[in-house]
Amino acid sequence: MKVLNSMKTVFESRSVNEAYARCAAAAFLTCADPALDEVCDIKTAVSEAVTNCIVHGYRDTVGKIYITVKLMEDGRAVIQVKDKGCGIENIAQARQPLFTTAAEEERAGLGFAVMESCMDKVRVYSRLGKGTTVVLEKKLTLK
Amino acid sequence: MTVHLQTAPDVATAYLVGELDHHGAGRIRNIIDSTVMGMEQPPKVLYLDFGDVGFMDSSGIGLVMGRYRLMTELGGRLEVTNLTPKLRKVMLMAGLEKLGVLEKEGTKKDESFKQHENGF
């Protein structure tokens, strides 16, 4: 599948950058003139994925978060959010609604559930001690 | 994200303004909780007004659940008001309607006030 357009951004895992991350992804995809609802869903999903990198992947440290956004020929937006943090021990458990390892921070444990409801596909790759990559996919309604 | 708080005897209202994410939620939570706990008598109702929230992720769900717990502990109740359809969707996904804190759909307070001012 041909990639029509793509972008990459790298930033530090500081919570203040959550807004930058979701807005950068959304701003890039305006080249495809997507529907407002789709943009909102993408912003929400990216915000969840990046928050996971900050809260879980890097915990009390600051590392780099890597985002790539690709616009495919068939109108799919494919967004990769990657960290080189601690990794996830049990991905199936982490994806369970209400499961959280950060209850003291008032995390609801709904990050993956929200990503899944906003996107068509959510894939998670992780290795303990190496990091985690989340790939978000959504078909955009091209005008 | 900012929050404006209004208190009257028995009632506290938190007007949330901006984008509610993990970055903003912690500070907002502290401001709301310290205001509520600082009242002479614990309020009977805490309103969380989402009318000026343009974006929210699951951090907003955590904020609502945490304040629900606080108000239950204090013997009062929580009401979430002025939800746009988009925010309501995220809250319904989390099952927050089961807590009985979401105002009914189509009861946007501000708009009904405006209608009154215009003589319907």
pLDDT tens for A20-35 read: 999 999 999 999 999 9
Terminus-to-terminus CA distance in chain A, angstroms?
A: 20
Among A55, A113, A114, whose Cβ lies nearest the Cβ of B22? A55
**Does A71 or B111 have the greater pLDDT score?**
A71
Given A17, A76, A95, A107, the catalytic residue: A107
Given A18, A22, A38, A48, the catalytic residue: A48
Tokens 């009242």 locate to: B39
Q: What is the pTM of this model?
A: 0.91
Q: Do B22 and A16 touch (CB under 8 A)?
A: no
Taking the C-alpha atoms of residue A140 and residue A7, their distance in angstroms, rounded to an integer, is: 17
Q: What is the pLDDT of residues A6-19, one digit of tens each?
A: 999 999 999 999 99
Order across the sheet with A131-139: list the strands: A3-12, A64-72, A76-83, A131-139, A121-127
> Does residue B29 belong to the interface with chain A, where contact is any CB pair within 8 Å?
yes
Q: Which neighbouring-strand residues pair with A7?
A: A69
CA A12-A14-A20 angle, to 5 degrees, is 80
Share of chain A above pLDDT 70, in %: 99
Question: How distant is the Cα of A83 from the closest Cα of chain B, in angstroms?
Answer: 17
Please count the residues of chain A.
Answer: 143
> Does residue A104 belong to the interface with chain B, where contact is any CB pair within 8 Å?
no
Mean pLDDT of A67-89: 97
**Does A45 or A98 have the greater pLDDT score?**
A45
Please tell me the predicted confidence (pLDDT) of residue B107: 57
pLDDT under 50: residue ranges of chain B: 111-120
The verdict on whether A17 is a catalytic residue reads no
Mean pLDDT of A75-90: 97
The verdict on whether A107 is a catalytic residue reads yes
The residue segments making up the domain with residue A9 are 3-139
Please tell me the predicted confidence (pLDDT) of residue B52: 96
Q: What letters, b where the CB count within 10 A reaches 16 and e where it falls short, cover A10-33?
A: ebebebebbbebbebbbebbeebe
Question: How distant is the Cα of A1 from the closest Cα of chain B, in angstroms?
Answer: 31
Residue A69, judged by CB atoms within 10 A of its CB (0-12, 13-18, 19+), counts as buried
**In chain A, what residues touch B22 (CB-CB under 8 Å)?**
15, 18, 47, 51, 54-55, 107
- Domains within chain B, CATH numbers bracketed: 2-117 (3.30.750.24)
Please count the residues of chain B.
Answer: 120
Among B26, B57, B86, whose Cβ lies nearest the Cβ of A47? B57
Q: What is the pLDDT of residues A95-106, one digit of tens each?
A: 998 888 887 778
Q: Best mutation site among B58, B87, B88, B99 for testing chain A: the one with the most A CBs within 10 Å?
A: B58
**In chain B, what residues touch A113 (CB-CB under 8 Å)?**
58, 93-94
Please tell me the predicted confidence (pLDDT) of residue B120: 35
Count of domains observed in chain A? 1
Please tell me whether the interface predicted TM-score (ipTM) of this complex is above 0.90. Answer: yes
Mean of the per-residue pLDDT values for chain A? 95
Q: Do A108 and B25 touch (CB under 8 A)?
A: no
Q: Give the count of alpha carbons within 13 A of B41, CB side only.
A: 9
Taking the C-alpha atoms of residue A134 and residue A95, their distance in angstroms, rounded to an integer, is: 11
Q: What is the pLDDT of residues A131-140, one digit of tens each?
A: 999 999 999 9
Tokens 């309501």 locate to: B88
Q: Does the structure show a pLDDT above 70 at A124?
A: yes
| Nearest alpha-carbon partner for A67 in A111, A110, A28 | A28
Residues in contact with A76: Cβ distance below 8 Å, sequence separation at least 6, in sequence order: A1, A120, A137, A138, A139, A140
DSSP per-residue letters across A68-136: EEEEETTSEEEEEEEE-SS--S-HHHHHSTT--S-GGGT--S-HHHHHHHHSSEEEEEEETTTEEEEEE
Please tell me the predicted confidence (pLDDT) of residue A108: 84
**CATH number of the domain enclosing A63:** 3.30.565.10
Phi, psi (5° rounding) for residue A77?
-100, 125
Question: How distant is the Cα of A42 from the closest Cα of chain B, in angstroms?
Answer: 11
Mean pLDDT of A103-126: 92
Tokens of A116: 């899944």
> Does residue B90 belong to the interface with chain A, where contact is any CB pair within 8 Å?
yes
Taking the C-alpha atoms of residue B74 and residue B42, their distance in angstroms, rounded to an integer, is: 6
| Nearest alpha-carbon partner for B32 in B52, B9, B12, B51 | B12
> Does residue B23 belong to the interface with chain A, where contact is any CB pair within 8 Å?
yes
